[in-house]
Structure 1
Amino acid sequence: MRKKSLLEAFKQTQYQISGHGRRNIQVLKEALLNIDGQQESDLYGKGKIIEEFQTKVAKFLGKESAVFFPSGTMAQQIALRIWCDEKGLNKVAYHPLSHLEIHEEDGLKKLHNIEPILLADKKRLIVMEDVMNMGKDVACLLLELPQREIGGQLPDYKTLESISTYCREHHIKLHLDGARLFEILPYYKKSAAEICSLFDSVYVSFYKGIGGIAGAILAGDETFTEESKIWKRRHGGDLISLYPYIISSNFYFDQRLNKMNEYYEDAKELANFFNQCQGISTNPLVPASNMFHVHFDMPKEKLESTLIAIYEKTGIGITSYVKETSVKSCYCEISIGDQYCIIPKDELRRLFEMLIK
């Protein structure tokens, strides 16, 4: 008899700790429920449906202009290409665990001939000293807030202000990988516009904390965004219509933006539960947003078997995957959304009693 996988067991649970629920067709159906079927779609980046959303998000971010992209990968490579061309330099700087470095098959290097300068090491955030030592022959510095691959850690706001000032004084463009920008607003207690004012260009995602189908916004001044539209066409991102992505992004943006503080508080509560279990710890100890990593002092295969048994007894899924860190340890990522608050507290306590045992 074939052994059940962790993913299969997770899908069969009644409750899931992470996310907004299952990524199924219902996500789009809900977004389309009150949309007039006669409304015209966007057409190659033009039309009321896309232009109004771009204007709405640009205003929220405090930027002059914004462009909707089908993917953040496309948007960020284009942003860095524009800044490199403007300065006549093919070097950019970012963290060694940036999405561009570990998840994009060297797209920045192969498609744009841009050389990355990796700052800091893999276990910590970029600090002011790293920026000052990176050299001045860099067209752009990219900061990811929060730094996902190390548990969603964030620098303090004064560090951001210092880095921004340094970059402007040395004519280095500063780009924000704000895939999870909405999720960090409660931590900084700042508006999106205040944070984005420190950066020359900003990318935000609409499928992570917001929970849309897919899609991203790239924002900056009008000269920058007009150039990004040309590169969007060159990348094949100017689909004839993007309205399913735009409608779902707009719908869930309105529905979930004001819940980010709730998700943040729930994440801190949940991390505390994990940290009370021997052999389990979170990174960071206290989450800086709605996401964090959970580390287990147990071999991956043994943990998966343990979790499957717990899922079957409690009906609560913690994670659908576990990543190995050594032969004796592993971790998973947690991102709090709408699902956490619907789990009965008694059932949640029972789950952690079993984890402790």
Structure 2
Amino acid sequence: MGEKTLFEAYKNATHPVQGHGKRNFDVLKEALEGFDGDVDSDIYGSGKIIEDFQEKMADSLGKERAVFFPSGTMAQQIALRIWCDQKQVQRVAYHPLCHLEIHEEDGLKKLHGIEPILLAEKNRVINLEDVVGLKEEIACLLLELPQREIGGQLPEYETLVAISQYCRDKGIKLHLDGARLYEVLPYYGKTAAEICDLFDSVYISFYKGFGGIAGAILAGDEAFTDESKVWKRRHGGDLISLYPYIISADYYFDQRIDKMDQYYEGAKELATHFNGCEGIRTLPETPVSNMFHVFFHYPQKQIEAILIEMYEKTGIGLTGYVNEVSDNECAFEANIGDQYKNVPKKELKNMFTLLNEKLQKQNT
């Protein structure tokens, strides 16, 4: 038997702090419990179960129409394609660490022939000056709220309003990568519809903050969503039935939509604990959603060994991984969901006291 890994130690922890729990078959079983087996499924994008859910999400987002997609990757590439075709300009702008740029194998370029223009430095969000300073003509600007790869940072609401107005004045479509849109509402103090009103099209995810199986919504006006359905068919997104995804999306949306404030407050509390330890910092220092990044100013192997020891002593698990940033730094992404409320506060505080003492000894 080899040494225990950090992932194994986290799985065995009595009180894991992250997310909603294990992604196993129970996620679907729980969502299906209240359903009669005679309920009809959707068929190729039609049927009461999908149409009702799409209408529900359009209402929540304040848009005319909404379309359910099996994946956000499909939905967002299609949104940008529609806006580029409409303007007959095959260029869009987005952040250098946008999902389309770093996680989709150049799908936007290879499948659609669209050229991305990268805005802003990697370590900050896009601001109005970046947009005004664009030298190339673009069909669409994509903003991600929050900007995941830099710790979930957000522009101020006034900046969003200014960017939206500028884009409308210049005939530039504004698309929202809102995979985690509902998670940022407590910080902004706005409804989803108020934020989405600034954008021409909106994508949201159901497996991140809500913990569903998979699936996404793309929302906008009637003409846009009608065109998105055509592209969805072209991409093979109209599976014969999507009801397992729709049912779980609907169920967990209802279960967790009113808990976003709870997750946000938990993230701020947990970040305070981390920032009180020797050689640890969070990005942002004060979270603006339920997620943030944690940086240890120590080598990866050293931190893995320390965390395993802490988990075994206290039963509290902070993360199942840390990624190497440099020889003397490693990091992970914290994401607060249902599990955090079950962690005993006194024991959590004690665990961080022990962790801080251990780290202080590393520097002596």
> Shorter chain as normaliser: what TM range?
over 0.9
Query: Is residue 2:90 matched to residue 1:87?
Result: no
Query: How far does the alpha carbon of each residue in 1:117-155 deviate from its partner, in whole angstroms, 9 at most, with x for none?
Result: 000011111111100111351000000000000000000
How far residue 309 of structure 1 moved from its aligned partner, in angstroms, is 1.4
Query: Is residue 2:105 matched to residue 1:108?
Result: no
State the one-letter code of the partner of 1:105.
E
How far residue 312 of structure 1 moved from its aligned partner, in angstroms, is 1.5
The equivalent residue for 2:118 is: 118
The equivalent residue for 2:296 is: 296
Query: How far does the alpha carbon of each residue in 1:179-237 deviate from its partner, in whole angstroms, 9 at most, with x for none?
Result: 00000010000010000000000000001111111100000001000111111111111
Larger displacement relative to structure 2 (315-324 or 198-207): 315-324
Larger displacement relative to structure 2 (134-143 or 278-287): 134-143
Larger displacement relative to structure 2 (253-262 or 3-12): 3-12
Matches within 5 A, 1:71-82: 71-82=71-82
TM-score (norm 1): 0.99
The equivalent residue for 2:323 is: 323
Matches within 5 A, 1:132-171: 132-135=132-135, 137-171=137-171
State the one-letter code of the partner of 1:53.
F
Q: Give 3-state SS (helix, strand or coil) of 2:93's partner.
A: strand
Matches within 5 A, 1:171-210: 171-210=171-210
Query: How far does the alpha carbon of each residue in 1:18-45 deviate from its partner, in whole angstroms, 9 at most, with x for none?
Result: 1001111101111001111110000000
Query: How far does the alpha carbon of each residue in 1:269-306 deviate from its partner, in whole angstroms, 9 at most, with x for none?
Result: 11111111110111001100000011110111111111
TM-score (norm 2): 0.97
Q: Distance in 1 between matches of 2:251 and 2:32?
A: 9
Say whether the 8 Å CA contact 1:310–1:354 is kept in structure 2.
yes
Q: Give 3-state SS (helix, strand or coil) of 1:339's partner.
A: helix
Matches within 5 A, 1:260-279: 260-279=260-279
Name the count of aligned residue pairs: 357
Q: Distance in 1 between matches of 2:102 and 2:283?
A: 20
Q: Give 3-state SS (helix, strand or coil) of 1:21's partner.
A: coil
How far residue 168 of structure 1 moved from its aligned partner, in angstroms, is 0.4
The equivalent residue for 2:340 is: 340
Q: Distance in 2 between matches of 1:100 and 1:11?
A: 31
Larger displacement relative to structure 2 (318-327 or 150-159): 318-327
Q: Distance in 2 between matches of 1:49 and 1:129?
A: 44
Say whether the 8 Å CA contact 1:62–1:193 is kept in structure 2.
yes
Larger displacement relative to structure 2 (314-323 or 155-164): 314-323
Let me know the Cα RMSD of the aligned residues: 0.8
Say whether the 8 Å CA contact 1:136–1:170 is kept in structure 2.
no
Say whether the 8 Å CA contact 1:178–1:202 is kept in structure 2.
yes
Q: Alignment identity in percent?
A: 68
The equivalent residue for 2:57 is: 57
Query: How far does the alpha carbon of each residue in 1:294-325 deviate from its partner, in whole angstroms, 9 at most, with x for none?
Result: 11101111111111111122121111111111
